[in-house]
């Protein structure tokens, strides 16, 4: 747990190391912005040094013309193959924020059959808002629009929306219904994150949905030694996510189950 917290903290700092941006309200415009970071981190956050893969994917698919986003797709495929959802558990600042919110001492909502069903929602959101709607906007208006960023992404609202409008009086004059809607969603996600473990990652995040597809065969992640496993289910009882099996598409490879396993059957892959 300590190693994961350190990784999350270092990741949040490295992704957002343009500290002067938090004072001036100006975003980083260096060449590092051409590189997507693995986790969800809005590129309009005043501290961001890199680009958000989801935002980049939407603008690459349907910016000024419809095209296959080889660069962003290649990077996202590479990230997924290497790390799977370890990225969510270890290298995502928005996951880290939700982890911290969940630590607040309040009554908690446990996982159940409904939350398990809701995990499919993030795939629908990904297909509709990341792939289909940007193309629809392109066809209708001649210019694509990152629909997930525009209508949903609470990371963008918190890191970019709230921060940038607080730091730039000029931006405040353009605020309207979309900002109000996104702020409402962000507040809902924050409140839910206090009451339940990582609601955004479990039900909404298309990036987590994508990385989850690689979880079972990524180079790094959680693995179970079937020869040692007694199927006692202790791992699934301690898991705060909606996993039905250790290392499945919902597993963020946090490693909590490795400590509870009575036969030490669960561990991290060695990367080969």
What letter does residue 33 receive in the DSSP assignment?
A: G
| Number of residues lying near other proteins (CB under 8 A) | 53
CA 11, 220, 249, 77 torsion-angle sign: positive
**Is residue 63 near other proteins by the rule CB under 8 A?**
yes
Distance separating alpha carbons of residues 37 and 49, to the nearest angstrom: 9
Cα distances from 175 to residues 145, 178, 272, in angstroms, run 18, 8, 50
CA–chain centroid gap for 208, Å, is 5
**Is residue 23 near other proteins by the rule CB under 8 A?**
no
Q: Which one of residues 6, 10, 13, 35 is an interface residue with other proteins (CB under 8 A)?
A: 35
**Is residue 271 near other proteins by the rule CB under 8 A?**
no
> What is the phi/psi pair of residue 41, to 5°?
-155, 110
Considering only the stretches 76-84, 108-116, 192-200, 247-255, report the one whose residues sit in contact with other proteins under the rule CB under 8 A: 76-84
**Is residue 130 near other proteins by the rule CB under 8 A?**
no
Distance separating alpha carbons of residues 253 and 223, to the nearest angstrom: 9
CB of 30 to other proteins, least distance (A): 8
Structure tokens at 237: 């009882």
Q: Which one of residues 128, 171, 190, 194 is an interface residue with other proteins (CB under 8 A)?
A: 171
The residues that touch other proteins, with contacts defined as CB under 8 A, are 27-29, 31, 33-36, 42-44, 48, 50-52, 55-56, 59-60, 63, 69-75, 77-78, 81, 145-146, 149-150, 153, 156-157, 160-161, 164-165, 171, 174-176, 178-179, 181-183, 217-219
């Amino acid at each position: 747990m300590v190693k994961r917290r350190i990784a999350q903290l270092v990741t949040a700092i490295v992704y957002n190391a343009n500290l002067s941006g938090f004072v001036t309200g100006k975003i980083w415009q260096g060449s590092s912005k051409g590189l997507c970071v693995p986790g969800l981190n809005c590129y309009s956050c005043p501290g961001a040094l890199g680009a958000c893969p989801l935002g980049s994917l939407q603008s690459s698919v349907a910016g000024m013309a419809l095209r296959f986003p080889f660069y962003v797709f290649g990077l996202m495929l590479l990230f997924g193959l290497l790390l799977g959802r370890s990225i969510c558990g270890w290298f995502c600042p928005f996951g880290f924020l939700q982890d911290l919110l969940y630590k607040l001492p309040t009554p908690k909502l446990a996982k159940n059959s409904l939350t398990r069903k809701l995990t499919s929602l993030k795939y629908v959101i990904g297909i509709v808002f990341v792939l289909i709607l940007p193309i629809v906007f392109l066809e209708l208006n001649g210019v694509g629009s990152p629909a997930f960023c525009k209508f949903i992404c609470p990371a963008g609202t918190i890191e970019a929306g709230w921060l940038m409008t607080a730091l730039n009086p000029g931006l405040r004059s353009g605020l309207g219904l979309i900002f109000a809607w996104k702020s409402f969603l962000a507040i809902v996600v924050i409140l839910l994150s206090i009451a339940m473990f990582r609601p955004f990652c479990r039900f909404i995040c298309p990036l987590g949905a994508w990385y989850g597809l690689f979880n079972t065969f990524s180079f790094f992640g959680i693995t179970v030694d079937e020869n040692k496993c007694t199927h006692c289910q202790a791992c699934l009882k301690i898991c705060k996510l909606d996993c039905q099996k250790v290392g499945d598409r919902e597993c963020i490879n946090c490693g909590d189950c490795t400590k509870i396993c009575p036969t030490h059957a669960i561990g991290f892959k060695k990367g080969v």
